[in-house]
Amino acid sequence: MVILGNTYFITMTGPIQNLEVVERWINSSSFLSILSADLVVDTFFWLGAFLASYQMLMNMSVNEGRLPSSKCKLYINRIARLMPLYFFTLLFFWRIVVLFGGDGPMFF
């Protein structure tokens, strides 16, 4: 949803040559989910911060209230959790969306 909303908002700031397609987008019922993408971004950031702080508090409870001695391990753990999703997103938009998505004279 985050990527979809940002892609839509970037698309709408550029030149629009196919107004009929944009009008069909706006009149569709699934367009409401795209308009609420800014709220999804806020929720995504809030949830990410909540889970990161929860993990830090769990690590502190194991270490009797002190921060973990290996801060590098915390960064590596976070990178290891996020990189598979990042690579999947890159692969998805690099190969799959190009094959099945989009239309109009400026798509390719």
- Write out the DSSP string of 73-97: HHHHHHHHHHHHHHHHHHHIIIIIH
Segment 22-79, tens digit of pLDDT? 888 788 887 877 777 778 888 888 998 999 899 888 888 888 888 777 778 878 888 9
Sort 41 into a burial class: Cβ within 10 Å, 0-12 / 13-18 / 19+.
Answer: middle
User: For residue 56, what pLDDT is reported?
Assistant: 85
The average pLDDT across 11-19 equals 78
In the chain, where are the structural domains located? Answer: 2-100
pLDDT for 40 = 81
* pTM, 2 dp: 0.47
Q: Which of the two residues, 45 and 99, has the higher pLDDT score?
A: 45
pLDDT of residue 108: 63
Can you give the pLDDT at residue 50?
Answer: 95
